[in-house]
Amino acid sequence: MLRVSETMDPILARPFGISSIISKRSLELVYNTVGKGTNMLSRLEPGRMLDMLGPLGNGFSMPEKGEIPVLIAGGCGFPPLHFLSIKFARRKIKSHVFIGAKDRRHLPPPFIMNGFKKNLCSIHLATEDGSAGTRGLVTQLVSKSLQTTGTGDERRPVLYACGPRAMLAAVAALAAEHSVTCYVSMEERMACGMGACMGCAVPVRRGGYKRVCKDGPIFRAEEIAWSESDLTNPSSVAQCCSHAVDAIPS
């Protein structure tokens, strides 16, 4: 959780996935300017010290023996996968990286792409307008690739996905269809970032919610209720303040 401002506006710290560790006192975060917090961050002068709380939450699990990692990045989901690729490279694990973007201008920056290449990754690109790589969604590219994965002496893919919620849901569906292990890095608005406020709740299949900040951000894809129909026990999800529009918690 990074404090982007010393003022009360914006008041909350911002959650970021780590892209790499630079030294004992600095790490690399890569972000898009999407709102107040990230815009403020982008205007800070180099050398400025920021307050940060971390590391928080869990991490990606290592692949099992005989599994080949398939990293799937959409939107600004590539930083944690870049970090993961560093870990794989250290263990001499080769992996595939599928990167999706709107167009070539929205692909990860060169230092990230070079990082993936350096980290023993085979890169597969998909842009919606076809200006780089294959035309279409990254999930379409992944789907094709999973279909052509034979059995026999081919290693089983294990998916690691980070990106927009809709992309994660699509990857989860692909994983289920092909019966492969899939880890997703979830995102949700956060306040405390440490599991106390219950703000960053994501619905889970068996009913109720888990906290992205503390129980995640990494979840097995099949744990998440991607849509209402995924809930195995919808009646267990008790609604509180929908009873009365003017009720207030706590």
Q: Where does residue 221 rank: exposed (0-12), middle (13-18), buried (19+ CB within 10 A)?
A: buried
Q: Is 34 in the site for other proteins (CB under 8 A)?
A: no
Q: How many CB atoms lie within 10 A of CB 248?
A: 6
DSSP for 194-214?
A: SSSS--SEEEBTTSSEEETTT
Q: How many CB atoms lie within 10 A of CB 160?
A: 27
Residue 72 to residue 167: CA distance in whole angstroms: 9
Q: Give residues 132-171 in contact with other proteins (rule: CB under 8 A).
A: none
**Cis peptide preceding 79, ω within 30 of 0:** no
Residues 184-203: x where in contact with other proteins by CB under 8 A, - otherwise, as a string: ----xxxxxxxxxxxxxxxx
Q: Which is nearer to other proteins, 44 or 197 (CB)?
A: 197
Q: How far is the CB of 175 from other proteins (least distance, A)?
A: 22
Q: Is 238 in the site for other proteins (CB under 8 A)?
A: yes
Beta bridge partners of 135: 127
- Which residue's structure tokens are 């990074």? 2
Residue 185 to residue 168: CA distance in whole angstroms: 8
Residue 149 to residue 168: CA distance in whole angstroms: 21
Q: Is 21 in the site for other proteins (CB under 8 A)?
A: no
Q: Is 4 in the site for other proteins (CB under 8 A)?
A: no
Which range of residues in 1-9, 59-67, 79-87, 97-105 is near other proteins by CB under 8 A? 1-9
Q: Which is nearer to other proteins, 153 or 228 (CB)?
A: 228
Q: Is 221 in the site for other proteins (CB under 8 A)?
A: no
Rounded to the nearest angstrom, the gap between the alpha carbon of residue 103 and the centroid of all alpha carbons in its chain is 20
Q: Is 244 in the site for other proteins (CB under 8 A)?
A: yes
Q: How far is the CB of 94 from other proteins (least distance, A)?
A: 37
Q: Is 15 in the site for other proteins (CB under 8 A)?
A: no
Q: Which is nearer to other proteins, 124 or 211 (CB)?
A: 211
Give how far Cα 218 sits from Cα of 108, 214, 230, Å. Answer: 21, 10, 19
Q: Which is nearer to other proteins, 192 or 218 (CB)?
A: 192
**Cis peptide preceding 249, ω within 30 of 0:** no
How many chain residues interact with other proteins (CB under 8 A)?
43
Q: Give residues 42-61 in contact with other proteins (rule: CB under 8 A).
A: 53
Which range of residues in 3-11, 69-77, 92-100, 108-116 is near other proteins by CB under 8 A? 3-11
Residues in the chain: 250
Q: Which is nearer to other proteins, 76 or 190 (CB)?
A: 190
Q: Which residues bind other proteins (CB under 8 A)?
A: 3, 8-13, 53, 188-203, 207-209, 214, 236-250
